[in-house]
Amino acid sequence: MANAETSTQKGGKKTTRKKDVAYDEKAIQTLDALEHIRLRTGMYIGRLGNGSHPLDGIYVMMKEVVDNAVDEFIMGAGKRVEIKREGETVSVRDFGRGIPLGKLVDCVSQINTGGKYNDDVFQFSVGLNGVGTKAVNALSSDFEATSFRDGKFRRANFSRGKLQKDQKGKQADAPDGTEVRFTPDPEIFGTYQWNEEFIEHRLRYYGFLNRGISLVYNGSKFQSSRGLADLLDYEIGDDTPLYETIHCSSDRIEFAFTHTNSYGESYFAFVNGQYTNDGGTHQSAYREGLLKGINEFAKKSYAGEDIRDGMVGAVAIKLQDPVFESQTKNKLGSTDVRSWIVPAVRQEVVKWLHQHPQDAEQLLEKIKSNERIRKELSAIKKEARERAKKVAIRIPKLTDCKVHFSDAKGKRRDESTIFLAEGDSAAGVMVPCRDVQTQAIFSLKGKPLNCHGLKRDAIYKNEELYNIMRALGIEDGIEGLRYNRVVLATDADVDGMHIRNLLLTYFLRYFEELVVKGHLYVLQTPLFRVRNKKETRYCYSEKQRDTAIADIRGPEVTRFKGLGEISPKEFGQFIGEDIKLSPVAVKNLGEVGKVLEFIMGKNTPARRDFIVENLVTDVV
C-alpha cells in the first residue's frame, strides 16, 4: 500500500499523490541557510518573475545591494554610489567605510552576520535581518564582493553561495568602500531581462529619499536637492498642482503633499528608504496628522475624504528596528509610530499654512469644492445603493472566492485575484477551473461605458461600473480593496482590446492609486494551439506559432478568437501554475492624463498609426 497512487482532477489538471508515505527520521531534512534560500526563494525576495515587473526578484536583489551602499551614506560615509550593468551582470561600488576585511566572507555568506545589529554603527537601516546580501549571493551564478580599507583589499568570489576564491592584497590608490558584483542565476530565474526604465526609476527614488547622495548608473546621474518635494514634482509631471507643494523635514520624518484635479488620493510611503508599497502604520498616522493639522488651522471639522480627495502625498520616516509584515518589506507593522508621527505632522502642517497664507487659501478652496461635490454626489450614491439592493442581495455576475486581500493574512492574501471576464462564455470557462480559495470571477456585460472626460457621478449612474466598484470593495477608497490582483481577462481580438481599453480608462480615471500600487494586470492567454497526437504547444504570438509548426510534424493549428472557445479542462493551466500576467503600470502620475487622452481622446490619426505599427499582428 505504501506505493499505491491516487489521481484526482483539480482545475482541469491531473494530480497524483502517494498514499501512506513513511513519516520517520529519514523524512526529516536539515538544510543550511543558503540551500534554504535557493529552495524557498520566494520567502526571501518575493516573486521570481522574468524582469518584466519592477517587483521581480532580480530588482529586489539589486535593491538589497544598493541599500547597503546607501546605508553608508546615511551614516555619513561616502556621498557617491556607482552602479553599472553589463549584460546580465550588475555591480555596485560605494565609497563608504568598507566591510571589515576579516569579516568580508562572513558578511556576504553567513546568515545573521553583519554590522546592522549594532545600533552605534547602523542607526536607521532597512536590512536589519542580515539576510539581504546573503540571499543575493545564494541566488547568483557568479557573485563577487570586494572591500577596500586603508590601502588594503579583500576580494571573495562565490558561485551559488559557495566560496570559490578568496584574495587579499594592497591597493594604495583605491578609495575605501565596498564593491559587489552579481549575476542572477538562470537556474533560479530562468530566462530574464533587465528593464532600464525600472532600474532608473528605482535609482531616481534613492536620490529623492537621500538628499546629497549622487548615484551614477552607466553614466546617468540621479540626485535631488529638495527630497520628497522633487519626488512629487516628478510624479505629478504635467498635471499642474493647485498650490505649491507643502514640504516639511526633520531628523526622523520628512513629508510633502499637494492637490491636483485628479480623483482619489495617492501616497508614496517609505521607511529608512524602503518603499512600502502597501503603506502601513506610518502612512495611516501621516494621513491622520494631515487631517488634524488642516482642521486645526481652518478651525473646522472637515471630513477626511474632503481633505484628501485629489491629494498626492509622500512620507518618509527613520526608525530603529522597524517591523515589516514580510521579508520584502511592503508594509510597515510597527504600532508605536503613531504616537509621534501624528503630532509631528499636525504641528508642521499648521506652521506651514500660517507661513504661506495664499497657498493655504487655495488648499481650503479645494477642500470646500470637494465637500460640495461630495454632498451633491450623496443623493446619487444613495440612489445607486437602493437600486442595487432591488436588483439582487449579492453583487450580480460575481462568483466570489473565500480569501480576500482586505481581511486575510499570510501568503494566500497576496494571491487573492479577481478576473474581469469578457462575457458569460469566458466566465463559464473560468469558473469551473479556478482556485475557489483565491480566485473570483466577475462577468462583464458587453462593452463598459467610456469614462474619458466624465465626472465621478458616472460610475454611480452606470450599473456595470458601479457593480465593478462594489465587487472590488473600493467604493470608499482602495483601503477596502478585496483582491490583491485585479486582472483584465478579455479576448485577443479587436473587441477584446477595446473592452480592455475601456476598463483601463475606468481605473485610471477614478482609481489611479490602484494602478500605481501595482494591483492591475492583463491576463495573457494563448492565441494558438499547435498539436499532434504526441505533443501540444500553446503559442502567444504568430512567431511562436510558426516555430511550433516547424518543430511538430503534421500539426493541427487552432486559433483561439475568444476565451470561451477554450474548454475549462484546458483553460485551468492558464490561470493556474502557468498563469501569465502583464502588469499595468504608468511611469508616473503625470502620465495618466496623457495615456487616457491618447487611448480614448480625439487624436484619431496618432492612435490609428500606433495600432497599425504595434497591435495589428495581435488581432489578425
Q: Model confidence over 203-262: pLDDT tens digits?
A: 999 999 999 999 999 989 999 999 999 999 999 887 788 999 999 998 899 999 999 988
Sign of the dihedral through C-alpha 378, 381, 387, 388: negative
> Does residue 619 register a pLDDT over 70?
no
> Does an H or E element contain 114, and which?
none
pLDDT at 118: 45
HEC string of 291-335? HHHHHHHHCCCCCHHHHHCCEEEEEEECCCCCCECCCCCCCECCC
Taking alpha carbons only, the member of 323, 231, 313, 309 closest to residue 280 is 323
Q: Range with the lowest mean pLDDT among 167-176, 383-392, 535-544?
A: 383-392
Cβ atoms of residues 23 and 447 within 8 Å:
no
For helices 338-355 and 281-298, give the axis angle rounded to 10 degrees.
Answer: 40
> Can you tell me the distance from the alpha carbon of 575 to that of 528, in angstroms, rounded to the nearest whole number?
17
> Does residue 617 register a pLDDT over 70?
no
User: pLDDT band at residue 112, thresholds of 50, 70 and 90?
Assistant: low
**3-class DSSP state of 62:** helix
Taking alpha carbons only, the member of 276, 203, 306 closest to residue 517 is 276
> Can you tell me the distance from the alpha carbon of 233 to that of 114, in angstroms, rounded to the nearest whole number?
37
User: pLDDT band at residue 561, thresholds of 50, 70 and 90?
Assistant: confident
Cβ atoms of residues 254 and 228 within 8 Å:
yes
Taking alpha carbons only, the member of 494, 615, 444, 618 closest to residue 544 is 618
**3-class DSSP state of 591:** helix
**What is the DSSP secondary-structure string of 346-371?**
HHHHHHHHHH-HHHHHHHHHHHHHHH
Report the CATH number of the 45-218 domain: 3.30.565.10
> Can you tell me the distance from the alpha carbon of 70 to that of 79, in angstroms, rounded to the nearest whole number?
9
> Does residue 320 register a pLDDT over 80?
yes
pLDDT tens profile 336-378? 999 999 999 999 999 999 999 999 999 999 999 999 999 988 8
Asked if 228-374 and 392-525+560-618 have one fold, the answer is no
Q: What is the mean pLDDT of the chain?
A: 85
Q: What angle do CA 547, 553, 557 make, to 5 degrees?
A: 65
pLDDT tens profile 247-289? 999 889 999 999 998 888 889 999 988 888 888 999 999 999 9
> Can you tell me the distance from the alpha carbon of 210 to that of 204, in angstroms, rounded to the nearest whole number?
10
Q: Range with the lowest mean pLDDT among 7-11, 180-184, 485-489?
A: 7-11
User: pLDDT band at residue 413, thresholds of 50, 70 and 90?
Assistant: confident
Cβ atoms of residues 236 and 590 within 8 Å:
yes
| CA distances in angstroms from 92 to 81, 99, 167, 282, listed in the order given | 7, 14, 19, 30
Which cell is 455 given? 465626472
> Mean pLDDT throughout 47-66?
89
> Can you tell me the distance from the alpha carbon of 553 to that of 555, in angstroms, rounded to the nearest whole number?
6
pTM: 0.76
> Can you tell me the distance from the alpha carbon of 575 to that of 560, in angstroms, rounded to the nearest whole number?
16
> Does residue 327 register a pLDDT over 60?
no
Which cell is 390 given? 432591488
> Can you tell me the distance from the alpha carbon of 529 to that of 540, in angstroms, rounded to the nearest whole number?
9
pLDDT at 383: 86
pLDDT at 408: 60
- The more confident residue out of 320 and 398 is 398
> Can you tell me the distance from the alpha carbon of 509 to that of 234, in angstroms, rounded to the nearest whole number?
19
Phi, psi of 258 (to 5 degrees): -160, 180
Among 61-70, 556-565, 611-620, top mean pLDDT goes to: 61-70
Phi-psi region of 427 (alpha: psi -120 to 50; beta: other; left: phi over 0): alpha
pLDDT at 22: 63
- The more confident residue out of 393 and 314 is 314
User: pLDDT band at residue 121, thresholds of 50, 70 and 90?
Assistant: very low
Domains of the chain, residue spans: 45-218, 228-374, 392-525+560-618, 528-559
Cβ atoms of residues 280 and 332 within 8 Å:
yes
Q: In 422-494, at which residue ranges do the beta strands (DSSP E only) sit? A: 439-443, 485-489
> Can you tell me the distance from the alpha carbon of 363 to that of 485, in angstroms, rounded to the nearest whole number?
34
Q: Does domain 228-374 have CATH number 3.30.230.10?
A: yes
pLDDT at 117: 41
pLDDT tens profile 283-313? 999 999 999 999 999 999 999 999 999 999 9
Longest dimension (CA), the chain: 82
> Can you tell me the distance from the alpha carbon of 204 to that of 198, in angstroms, rounded to the nearest whole number?
10
Cβ atoms of residues 576 and 13 within 8 Å:
yes
Which cell is 280 given? 502601513
> Can you tell me the distance from the alpha carbon of 596 to that of 502, in angstroms, rounded to the nearest whole number?
10
Which cell is 165 given? 576564491
> Mean pLDDT throughout 63-77?
89
What fold is seen in the domain 392-525+560-618? Rossmann fold (3.40.50)
User: pLDDT band at residue 100, thresholds of 50, 70 and 90?
Assistant: very high
> Can you tell me the distance from the alpha carbon of 315 to that of 327, in angstroms, rounded to the nearest whole number?
21
pLDDT at 610: 65
pLDDT at 7: 37
> Mean pLDDT throughout 53-75?
89
